A and B are shown apart, each in its own frame.
Chain A
Amino acid sequence: MSATTSSLEPLFTILSYSYATLETNFYKLPGSSVVARYVKSSHQNDPGRTLLEVFLIIFAIRTLLQSRTRADNSGKHFISFDEKEIDELVDEWTPEPLAAELSPKEQAELASIPVIVGPTGPKPKLSNGKTVLNLASYNFTGLAGNEDIKQSGVETLRKYGLGSCGPPGFYGNQDVHIQLEKDIADFLGTESAILYSQAFSTISSVIPAFCKRGDLIVADRGVNFSIQKGLQISRCTVRWYDHNDLNSLEQVLEAIEKERQKKRSPLTRRFIVTEGIFDHDGAMSDLPKLLKFKYRLILDESISFGSVGRTGRGLTELYNVPADQVDMLVGSVANGLASAGGFCAGTNIVVNHQRINGTSFVFSAAMPALLTVAASEGISILRNTPSILSTLQENIRAVRVILDRVDCISIPSHPASATIHLHVKLPSPMHLSPRVPPPSPSLSSSSSGKPSNPLSPTPREAPQFDAELEEKLLQDVVEEALAQGVLITRAKRLRGQELNDIRPSIRLAISAALNKKDCEKAANVVKAAFVKIVGRQRR
């Protein structure tokens, strides 16, 4: 026993010596006594804490040393292979082809796209040499081909060149862009507006600029594809209400409030997202009622701006509501002013926030000056010629009078909407969907009384229809009308990628550039084509 102790003696001496030198050296460091005192006193007060702190230090070091890549080798599901096995696996792996071959139907679809030779307008010429009446292009106010716009476009070209050659942040912000933003804001009566260079990329960028994970959005089930993508990118919580049904909206909002009170969760940023006139079916929102709720409103007026209201200011003018009550008013310069791009109007705060956070604003080149000036010119034409909008509304009425009472057509669109969607109406025994009530804008569709689940974008009672068959019939109608000299188009949707299956429709876009007689003529051709194609099916 004593032998072992004596043999260990030199070791102890070395240990105690080195400890002593360490201690003296430690106390030589400036400020070390403070640390030592702190450690001592904290250990005295609470020995458990020392343990915890040591543990924390070790943990911090480990975290620092750990590789920062996600899903690295230490993952639970990682299988380790040696190099030879990996080589074999690499050799074995065969990827799917990059692009799936087109089916014959898809090829036919591509081949059926009409090609306009020369300018588009009320009476364009097609590649088969035929001149047709155009009930398909977004040229509501007839600004396409306007000589004044062309003239100012050329002047701008000579002064600015074509491209802006840079994003707005880096010297792409030309005075013409500032002018158009000002023109739009003045036209609508908002504080400010911001210009995006493509209409589709506008709202899908506006939504994620404001709504982040954890925020709450209440959206219509029938919103357009661009909004759907914006909601997807924003990653916020989405609750859905039935398409254009404000009762349903109210129920959803009540349920949200109840849930919040139950969970005692704090108030988050809350938005309602919907459209003025819906891209999918032409139904119109009841704006004054939408403004009642204590939610911020993001309103997409891509169809309604430049097509309704006394001078084309859109829904706010139609309902006589000040535009500054809509928090974010999004519109399309491409559709409404026959130019290109989109805008978001709102307060200075809303607009300036987007100048830094609107992804497709910040990371995209500014619009060509020529197109910007064309839009400014368009606004001044609309301001000074209210007759354009009354002509447009007359044309819409003329078309609706003819098409409203056709047996085989059902129209979900609002009577004032410049886009008119035509659905196929088939009688009951022939078809899967007996008497589907058209989603009428004024009626609540909760016929069974049981509301849909707000968590799911699909309604409880999804309308039943045979999309394949209807698409085919509608395409036949389009071709029949084209043969008779009227250009119309099916509303093209990416079936399967949209949140809900959308009922196939033919989308007419009425223009003020056509006279009433031409409109009636065209509508009669469409009617005849429907009767011929769909009527045959009904028999």
Chain B
Amino acid sequence: MAINPASPTPSMFRKKPSSAMSTAASYLSAVSKADARARGLNGGSTTSTPALSLSSSVTSSSEDTVLHEDIGDSADGLYYPSVPPTSEQVFTTVHTEFGHCANESYRYTSRHTPGEPVKGVVEQDPPYYILITTYVSYLLVICIGHLRDFIDFDSFYTRRLKSRIDDCFSHPVTGVPGRTILLLDRYSTDHNVTFQPTGTRTRGLNISSYNYLGFAQGDGPCADAVEESVARYGVSACSTRREVGTLDLHLQAEALVARFMGMESALISSMGFATNSTIIPALVSKGCLVISDEFNHASIRYGVRLSGANVRMFKHNNMQALESLLREVISQGQPKTHRPWKKILIIVEGLYSMEGTLVNLPALLELKKKYKFYLFVDEAHSVGAMGPHGRGVADYFDVNPRSIDILMGTFTKSFGAAGGYIAGNKALIERLRISSHYSAYTEAMAPPVLTQVMASMASIMGVTIIPETKNSSSLSLLHSSNAIPVPVTNLEATAYPGTAPSTALPNWVSLPPSLCDGSDGRMRLRRLAFNSRYLNRALRKLGFITYGHDDSPVVPLLVFHPGKMAVFSRMMRTRAIPIVIVVVAYPATPLVTSRVRFCLSASHTKEDIDLVLKACDEIGELLDLKQAVGERWPLEEITKRAVELVSMKECP
């Protein structure tokens, strides 16, 4: 890996040198352009925007951070910052992908206060008339559906009920799923059976993608590294890991993941869902017991079903229920025979993607000491998004990650890539490489994806430069095939949660200084933490019923009625500044608790959140959604006192 020097040697893949000087200079010109445009808009005179063709995306300049491929001449804040940047502020990202937010007070650190007990999240119930009308509205559509046919519920549900709101799902999109997203408009003439594209496109503020740290970018150092890797490696590894699909990149990426997670060893699988479904069967078998949180993801249930182990569920995040279940199952042993269980594996998620709740890790680890079970934490949503260093729930609660047996997570969310990982001790990972379906039958992860994982991970960690000696080139490290290339020259670098040594990255990856010193990663983490806490608390102050933890980047807003859910989604999408959100209902949630789900990102600016709040306030009033009890603030007060609201210890 190479750090961009002040005067970089121009490589054939790099279109232009990107030293800090040239970026600043080019930025100034962009700023002046944006400034002129903003003034033009204010003055009401029409200025023609330079029409950049769509096909110019390869050469789309990294210096132009405001104007991107599309022509957008509205003053809606989607294309241009609503507050024009000043000349001292240097942004290297494209505003539509990663918003420009220079105000340092809009930052927060995602961290659990040590020593404080983990409070269960109080789930507010709506007034009874809401519940009753929810049931009634389901009853109504069911009755109408039954008039049309008469069969079992699941199939009935998808055909007769879901089709009514199908326009809120599977919407085709294009471009980078970053801060904003381009929807391909469509319409239906046959009651949502088929959709026809209109050919037009709408850019909306994207509060729906799993892009927690904002690494979904077509520009910037990560994309540059991926481009280089495509040129060097192509797009596929063309085999399974145990046959001939192991590239040097796989070993490097796995070593980096292990270091990131603070575990001995790690493995990488090419699909997030398959990480669970192909690896859990290698952990447990007949005679073992899996204790699973009732809200665990489908991939976990799929993997457990394949394993042949017994399964018991416990009430979501309820540690008392878990303890009494543990006492029961250990004392009773296996059903009928009463033989002791071979192993007990508890599977929980770090952050629940439908609830926004965090696992009560400290309490679980207390139980673990007493009851000797093994702990599997699925950090699909929490890795990168939680904790002061972005290392997930262990980092957030400040516990040693090695006290957890198996850490699983995906790269789809925070890292803007794809696939998943398992981290654990060396014996476990080696066992999984030998016995799990993943290594023998599934395709190895593609090189560009590995590069995105490594580049984004390194920028979260920061990079310690270790002068490259001839000995420590990546090639020689691979001679002993199962040795993890961890140089022990720098003790500080090896400490968790520390930085990545430059030798852990391929030598052709070049990262700019802002990534190496970790300031970029820190900025992302702190912006995400601020945004999450702000939206969570602000929605509650507005009077909405939300679920989940204050620090969760997933914010579910309860709407209860299936009809309101669809209307909410449509009203958000058709606003003057469209807002793209996800709505979830049965079967992903219980029947009565249909919800809107916001997924925040570091790429959102404070103004973006204000926009969402304003929209929610208006629509919430209209749909009678403000049902929470407790103190309420008016919208203006919330946006004005945002920093105060976020830094409050408790939000009453």
The docked-state distance in angstroms from the alpha carbon of A357 to that of B587 is: 12
Find chain A residues with CB under 8 A from B343 CB. 95-96, 98
Pair A118/B232 contact, Cβ less than 8 Å: yes
Give chain B nearest CB distance to A43 CB in angstroms.
Answer: 33
Q: Write the nearest CB–CB distance from B588 to chain A, whole angstroms.
A: 9
Report yes or no: A162 in contact with B416, Cβ–Cβ below 8 A. Answer: yes
Per a CB cutoff under 8 Å, which of B69, B298, B417, B443 touches A363? B298
Does B240 sit within 8 A of A, measured CB to CB? yes
Contact A114 B216 (CB under 8 A): no
Contacts A77-B335, A144-B238, A173-B173 given; indicate if A100 touches B246 (C-beta within 8 A).
no
| Per-residue interface assignment for chain B, residues 320 to 358, with 1 indicating a CB less than 8 Å from any chain A CB and 0 otherwise | 000000110011100110101111110000000000000
Are the CB atoms of B297 and A138 closer together than 8 Å? no
B63 to chain A, nearest CB (A): 14
- The answer to whether B218 touches A158 (Cβ under 8 A) is yes
Residues of B within 8 A of A98 (CB): 283, 343, 345, 374, 405-406, 428
- In the complex, which of the residues A86, A117, A161, A233 contacts B216, with contact meaning CB atoms closer than 8 Å? A161
- Kindly state whether residue B170 has any CB partner on chain A within 8 Å: yes
Report the tally of A-B residue pairs with Cβ distances under 8 A.
Answer: 362
Partner of B241, one of A113, A127, A170, A197: A113
Does B538 make an interface contact (CB < 8 A)? no
A377 nearest CB neighbor, chain B only: B235
* Nearest neighbor of B184 in chain A, beta-carbon distance: A175
Q: How far is the CA of A158 from the CA of B219 in the complex (A)?
A: 6
* Bound form: Cα–Cα A168–B440 in Å: 27
Is there an interface contact between A364 and B417, defined as CB atoms closer than 8 Å?
no
Would B208 and A120 count as touching, CB distance under 8 A? Answer: no
Given A115-B247, A199-B442, A360 and B274 touching (CB < 8 A)?
Answer: yes
B475 in the interface (beta carbon within 8 A): yes
Chain B, range 152-170, C-beta contacts under 8 Å to A: 158, 162, 169-170
Q: Do the beta carbons of B482 and A368 come within 8 Å of each other?
A: no
Q: Whole-angstrom distance from the CB of B322 to the nearest CB of chain A?
A: 13
B459 → A minimal CB distance (Å): 14
**Using an 8 Å CB-CB cutoff, how does the interface string of B175-191 with A read, 1 for contact, 0 for none?**
11110010010000000
Contact of A165 with B235 in the complex, beta carbons under 8 Å: no
User: Are A161 and B273 within 8 A (Cβ)?
Assistant: no
Q: Does B491 contact A (CB under 8 A)?
A: no
The answer to whether B437 and A171 touch across the interface, beta carbons within 8 angstroms, is no
Taking CB atoms and an 8 Å cut-off, the chain B residues in 417-452 that contact chain A are 417-418, 427-428, 430-435, 437, 439-443, 446-449, 452
A233, B306: Cβ atoms under 8 Å?
Answer: yes
B344 contact set on A, CB distance < 8 A = 95
Q: Which of A178-195 contact B (CB under 8 A)?
A: 178
Residues of B within 8 A of A162 (CB): 216, 222-223, 226, 416-418, 448-449, 452
A330 within 8 A of B: no
Chain A minimum-CB-distance residue to B340: A93
Interface string of B4-42 (1 = CB under 8 A from A): 000000000000000000000000000000000000000
Interface core residue of B162, B433, B447, B481 (most chain A CB under 10 Å): B481
Q: Which chain B residues lie closer than 8 Å to A360 at the CB level?
A: 271, 273-274, 277, 299, 302
Closest to A162 in B: B452
CB A534 to nearest CB in B, in angstroms, measures 21
B371, CB-defined interface residue at 8 Å: yes
Decide: A338 near B239, CB < 8 A? Known: A171-B582, A197-B418, A355-B170.
no
| A365 & B437 in contact (Cβ 8 Å cutoff) | no
Query: Using Cβ atoms and an 8 Å threshold, which residues of chain B touch A200?
Result: 274, 278, 437, 441-443
State which of A157, A158, A199, A356 has its C-beta within 8 Å of the C-beta of B448. A157
* A86–B211 alpha-carbon span in the complex (Å): 46
- Report how far A533 CA is from B241 CA in the complex, Å: 26
**A-chain residues with CB within 8 Å of residue B413 when the two chains form the complex:** 165
Task: Report how far A77 CA is from B606 CA in the complex, Å.
Answer: 59
Given the interface pairs A89-B331, A98-B374, A233-B302, the reply to whether A165 lies near B209 with Cβ below 8 Å is yes
A137 to B241, CA, bound (A): 11
When distances are taken between beta carbons in the complex, the residues of chain A under 8 Å from B231 are 150, 154
Would you list which residues of chain A between 51 and 107 have a CB under 8 Å from chain B? 71, 77-79, 81, 85-86, 89-90, 93-96, 98-102, 106-107
**Cα distance A198–B271 when bound, in Å?**
6
- A117–B485 Cα distance when bound, in Å, is 15
B227 within 8 A of A: yes
- A157: chain B residues at CB < 8 Å are 218, 223, 226-227, 230, 448
Are B244 and A116 in contact, CB atoms less than 8 angstroms apart? yes
With both chains docked as a complex, state the minimum distance between the C-beta of A107 and any C-beta of chain B, in angstroms: 8
Does B513 sit within 8 A of A, measured CB to CB?
no
Asked whether, in the complex, the Cβ of A159 is within 8 Å of the Cβ of B57, the reply is yes
In the bound complex, CA of A98 to CA of B209 (Å):
35
Residue contact A137 to B437, C-beta cutoff 8 Å? no
Kindly state the separation between the CA atoms of A338 and B237 in the bound complex, as whole angstroms.
8
Query: Which B residues are in CB contact (< 8 Å) with A107?
Result: 430
In the complex, are the beta carbons of B206 and A113 less than 8 A apart? no
- Alpha-carbon gap, A303 to B431, bound state (A): 28
Taken residue by residue from 130 to 142, chain A's Cβ proximity to chain B (1 for < 8 Å, 0 otherwise) reads as: 0000101111000
A120 in contact with B238 given A226-B441, A229-B437 (CB within 8 Å): yes
CB < 8 Å neighbour of A374 from B235, B417, B433: B235
Residue A110 at the B interface, CB < 8 A? yes
CB distance from B261 to the nearest CB of A (A): 17
A282 to B573 alpha-carbon distance, docked (Å): 51
In the bound complex, residues from chain B placing their C-beta under 8 Å from that of A355 are: 170
Determine whether the beta carbon of B177 is less than 8 Å from that of A127: no
B108 within 8 A of A: no
Q: Name which of A22-30, A382-390, A394-402, A485-493 contacts chain B.
A: A485-493
* Interface residue from A94, A173, A174, A490 paired with B372 (Cβ < 8 Å): A94
Chain A, residue nearest B433 (CB): A110
B478 lies within 8 A of chain A by Cβ: yes
A169 touches B218 (CB 8 A): no
Does A288 lie at the interface of the complex (its beta carbon under 8 Å from any beta carbon of B)?
A: no
**Can you name the residue of chain B whose Cβ is closest to the Cβ of A488?**
B244
Q: Does the CB pair A173–B302 fall under 8 Å?
A: no
A165 with B244: in contact, given A173-B173, A340-B270, A494-B440 (CB under 8 Å)? Answer: no
Interchain nearest-CB distance for A102 vs B (Å): 6
The smallest beta-carbon distance between A529 and chain B, in angstroms, is 16
Q: When each residue 237-267 of chain A gets 1 if its CB lies under 8 Å from chain B and 0 otherwise, what string results?
A: 0000000000000000000000000000000
Given contacts A155-B57, A170-B169, A370-B235, contact A79 B440 (CB under 8 A): no
Taking the nearest CB of chain A, how far is it from the CB of B600, in angstroms?
Answer: 13
A340 — which chain B residues lie within 8 A by C-beta? 235-236, 270, 443, 446
Residue pair B342, A96 in contact (C-beta under 8 Å): yes
Please, which residues of chain B bring their CB within 8 A of the CB of A146? 234
Q: Is the CB of B332 within 8 A of A78?
A: yes
- Which chain B residues lie closer than 8 Å to A489 at the CB level? 239, 243-244
- Which residues of chain A (421-444) have a CB below 8 Å from chain B? none
Bound Cα distance A370, B226 (Å)? 10
In the bound complex, residues from chain A placing their C-beta under 8 Å from that of B246 are 113-116
A297, CB-defined interface residue at 8 Å: no
Does A339 interact with chain B (Cβ within 8 Å)?
yes
B546 within 8 A of A: no
A364 pairs with B441, CB closer than 8 A: no
CA distance A149 to B230 in the complex (A): 9
CA separation between A171 and B209, bound complex, in Å?
A: 7
Contact of A134 among B244, B297, B405 (CB under 8 A): B244
Closest 3 CB pairs of A and B: A99-B431, A198-B271, A364-B273
8 CB contacts below 8 A, A to B, read A98-B343, A98-B374, A110-B433, A117-B247, A162-B418, A164-B418, A201-B274, A334-B236
Residues of A at the B interface (CB closer than 8 Å) are: 71, 77-79, 81, 85-86, 89-90, 93-96, 98-102, 106-107, 109-111, 113-121, 127-129, 134, 136-139, 144-146, 149-150, 153-155, 157-166, 168-176, 178, 197-201, 224-226, 229, 232-233, 332, 334-335, 338-340, 355-357, 359-360, 362-365, 367-368, 370-371, 374, 487, 489-494, 497, 507
Q: A161-B97, A367-B418 are in contact. List 5 more A-B contacts (CB 8 A).
A: A155-B58, A170-B209, A173-B173, A356-B158, A489-B243
